[in-house]
Amino acid sequence: MSDDLNHLKSLMDDAIPKPDAARRAANLSQAQSNFATLQQSWIATDSSLWQRLVEWMQSGVGKGAVTASVVLVAAGLFFAAPPEPSQLNAPLATATKIGQSAQEGLVAEFAAPAPMMETDDAFVASRTTALLDRSAAPLTSYERVRAALVQGVYPSKDDVRIAEMVDAFTYDSESAITDENFAAAISRFGQLLHSPQALGRSGYDDVIALAQANLGSDPSGERAEAVMLMQLARDLSQ
Amino acid sequence: MRMTTSDEDLAEAAAAGDGAAFASLLDRHYDRLFAFCFRLTGSRADAEDLTQDICAALPAKLGSYQRRAKVTTWLYRVAVNAAHDRRRKRATYARATTGWGDWEIQRTAENDDTAEKLDWLTVAMRQLPIDLRDTLALVLDEMTHAQAGDVLGVSEGTISWRISEAKKALRVIKEQEAKT
């Protein structure tokens, strides 16, 4: 690496923060739970297929039928080995349903064909095509947070996606500082939703004060609404 | 026991349905994956969200792991694709306030006295096109040009060319800085 890049590399290495411990744990457990769900549904599919084959074999009479069955079972397994997209849709759909509904949006994101996808990725993509159709407009992170708080419950941590929440607002106030402060309030709001016990009531009070002081002209009322949601979250945290 | 097992063996076991192998593999790579996500996005919040995306989708992605392929290459490819999808999705949202995103630089520069001054790294990364940024993210993570090419699905030569383009761009940025 040349000097130019070495300089950049050391700046970059210094800039990299440590991953948030709480989100690390949450992400790892989410991954494991998705893994387990996916596996269970695979096994369910496999065993029902297997059972059908056994039943079908038993229904055959005489040795000739069994020999024919063996050949056909071999052929069946050959076809079963690379499962067809139609078979694969079912387990993934189950996994998504059992997991967070937030996954739908995620799966949709991953389903989009990217330029460097491998053949197997295309497989995964085809599994999720059906999902794409069903979840025409997945809710954004902020919409999920709002839906939960309005119902008087904390949003699921998987639904709290800080950068997305910050992006849910329009930033075109007369003052850029107002916008940046408001964005900071939303970001801290997201952090509080991730670990409500960390800062407690005073944490919410600070965030609410910061947001309220930076409403700007707020033509659509979205910022005022966010303050209301923060107040709901504060009340829930007590 | 698990710590002595190679990444590739763990990935194969995971692809075959071994949950403990999967958990162990992800735990082993999480911090490095997060750091790579930061190199790709330039913002802590984005890196956290992107890592979350990848973790949640990884079980379904195990099918694309090919026997004997290097795990980091596969994992980084998943990460680059996820970042790419996210960027495309975010293009419809309001612009990001942080990171290497295409935030209007002059607007932030207007309140330099109050807002935190942008560091050189952020300024430099923002001025590079996305493919150069992704390439740099890999090479700064100590990947060889050949490995980076593998991840991005381009030739080693393309990577070398992009790196020399990035160096040229960085030099121009530095010169501009020296003038002001």
Of residues A2, A31, A163, nearest to B45 (C-beta)? A163
Q: How far apart are CA B180 and CA B175, in angstroms?
A: 9
Report the length, in residues, of chain B: 180
**Which chain B residues are within 8 Å of A162, Cβ to Cβ?**
45, 48-49
Tokens of A225: 């609404």
Indicate whether B82 and B116 sit together in one domain: no
Indicate whether B82 and B123 sit together in one domain: no
Please identify every stretch of chain B with a pLDDT value under 70, giving residue numbers as ranges: 1-3, 90-118
> Which one of B41, B67, B98 terminates a domain?
B98
3-state secondary structure of B103: coil
User: What percent of chain A has a predicted confidence (pLDDT) above 90?
Assistant: 5
Counting the structural domains of chain B, the total is: 2
> Which one of B36, B69, B98 terminates a domain?
B98
Q: Which residues are CB-contacts of B137 (< 8 A; sequence separation ≥ 6)?
A: B36, B39, B40
3-state secondary structure of B97: coil
Q: Which of residues 127-186 of A touch B (CB under 8 A)?
A: 127-128, 158, 161-164, 166-171, 176-177, 179-180, 183
Q: How far apart are CA A160 and CA A145, in angstroms?
A: 7
State ipTM: 0.79
Best probe of the A interface among B18, B44, B77, B136, by most A CBs < 10 A, is B44
Indicate whether B73 and B134 sit together in one domain: no
Domain CATH for B151: 1.10.10.10
Q: Which residues are CB-contacts of A8 (< 8 A; sequence separation ≥ 6)?
A: B121, B124, B136, B140, B170
pLDDT of residue B148: 95
Q: For the beta carbon of residue A201, count every other beta carbon within 10 angstroms.
A: 12
Domain CATH for B13: 1.10.1740.10
- Full domain range(s) for residue B145: 107-180
Cα dihedral sign, A170-A171-A175-A177: positive
Looking at the whole model, is its pTM more than 0.95?
A: no
Indicate whether B70 and B18 sit together in one domain: yes
Q: What is the pLDDT of residues A137-150, one digit of tens each?
A: 577 888 889 888 88
> Which one of B32, B66, B98 terminates a domain?
B98
Listed residue (A198, A175, A23) closest to B52, CA to CA? A23
Q: How many CA atoms lie within 13 A of A181 on its CB side?
A: 18
Q: Do residues A140 and A164 touch, judged by C-beta distance below 8 A?
A: yes
Indicate whether B18 and B80 sit together in one domain: yes
Indicate whether B15 and B46 sit together in one domain: yes
Indicate whether B135 and B163 sit together in one domain: yes
Chain Cα centroid distance, residue A224: 28
Indicate whether B29 and B55 sit together in one domain: yes
Best probe of the B interface among A100, A118, A128, by most B CBs < 10 A, is A118
Indicate whether B81 and B129 sit together in one domain: no
**Which chain B residues are within 8 Å of A26, Cβ to Cβ?**
52
- What is the four-CA torsion angle of A21, A27, A31, A37, rounded to 10 degrees? 120
- Asked if A176's CB is within 8 angstroms of B97's CB, the reply is no
Indicate whether B81 and B144 sit together in one domain: no
Indicate whether B2 and B87 sit together in one domain: yes
Of residues A31, A95, A168, nearest to B58 (C-beta)? A31
Strands (DSSP E) along A89-181, which ranges? none
pLDDT of residue A219: 81
Tokens of A156: 């699921």
